[in-house]
Structure 1
Amino acid sequence: MTCPYCQAENAESVLVCASCSRDIAVPATLIAERDDLLRKRDQLRDELARARDEVEAIMLRRKSR
């Protein structure tokens, strides 16, 4: 894990940076929230892509009339 303060490399499981002694632990609840938000973001991206495809198909049908 890279320290966000001094950019030193630390083991993944450390709570405090070995170089600058700052707290670098990320609570499990924040990790779970992040994962949930990433899942929702991906779902929204998929939905947006489907909507764009539908709009494009509608526009093509209108042009071919």
Structure 2
Amino acid sequence: MSCPYCCAGTAEGALVCSACGRDIAVPATLIAERDDLLRKREELRDELRRARDEVEAITRRRKSR
């Protein structure tokens, strides 16, 4: 694991970075929330990709008329 502030290597499970002294402990609830947000972001990206493909298909059909 590396410190999110100074990028120094830290021991797994460390609460404080030994290089910069900053608090690096992340509560499990924040990790779960982050994972949920990442999942939702990916779902939204997929939805946006499908919508763009649909708009592109509609545009091509209109041009071919």
TM-score by length of 2: 0.87
- Identity over aligned residues, as a percent? 78
Change (3 A) 1:9 1:55: same
Runs of 5+ unmatched residues, structure 2: none
Consecutive aligned runs of 4 or more in structure 1 exceeding 2 Å deviation: 4-7, 19-22
Q: Considering only aligned residues, what root-mean-square deviation do their CA atoms show, in Å?
A: 1.3
Give distance in 2, aligned partners of 1:21 and 1:58: 56
> Are residues 1:27 and 2:27 paired?
yes
CA displacement at 1:19 relative to structure 2: 2.4
Paired residues, what number? Answer: 65
Runs of 5+ unmatched residues, structure 1: none
